[in-house]
Amino acid sequence: MSLRDAIRTIPDYPKPGILFRDITTLLADARAFREAVDALVQPFAGMKIDKVAGIEARGFILGGAVAHQLSAGFIPLRKKGKLPHKTRAVEYALEYGVDTIEMHLDALGEGERVVLVDDLIATGGTALAAIDLLGQAGAIIVAAAFVVDLPELGGADRLRAAGVEVSTLVSFEGH
């Protein structure tokens, strides 16, 4: 089974007209999960990576596994109010309104080399906010890695335009 086949598509979720790419089926398949983690790690094998940052919540699962494989620390990037210690925050625009992403102030040191990991890149808004947040903390952003790319929404291109190297494993057309 390919990684693409291990990802379930749910029509009309979370709203009509959206095809939701659900990686929980990939995570449940031991072979597909291992293949995805190995493929996410591969571009960074042999590189010095200090930390892997994962975006809540699927990015925690993938990012934790990637950090383990790279012998790197892990930084959870969470929605506002979810982290217990002093935090740094970035607000970013959503289709309707704004959201906030946070990390602990002591999550990384100046000049540490960081890879951002999440399950999917769509419009890129959350990933760009995460890159901004990590950059404010002094991180050197090595790259951003995602299992799924929705190229029609342009998120990966937006990250590349911002100077971030992007790697993805599977592309799906549509939203």
DSSP state of 33: H
173 is an active site residue: no
Marked catalytic residue, from 21, 56, 88, 95: 95
In a 3-state reduction of DSSP, which class is residue 88? strand
Residue at 132: amino acid letter: D
95 is an active site residue: yes
DSSP character string of 81-114: T--SS-EEEEEEE-SSSEEEEEEETTS--TT-EE
Q: Using CB atoms within 10 A of its CB, is residue 150 exposed (0-12), middle (13-18) or buried (19+)?
A: buried
CA distances from 80 to 29, 52, 62, 99 (A): 32, 20, 21, 8
Q: Are strands 166-171 and 140-149 parallel, antiparallel or unpaired?
A: parallel
Marked catalytic residue, from 8, 35, 58, 91: 58
Catalytic residues, which ones?
58, 95
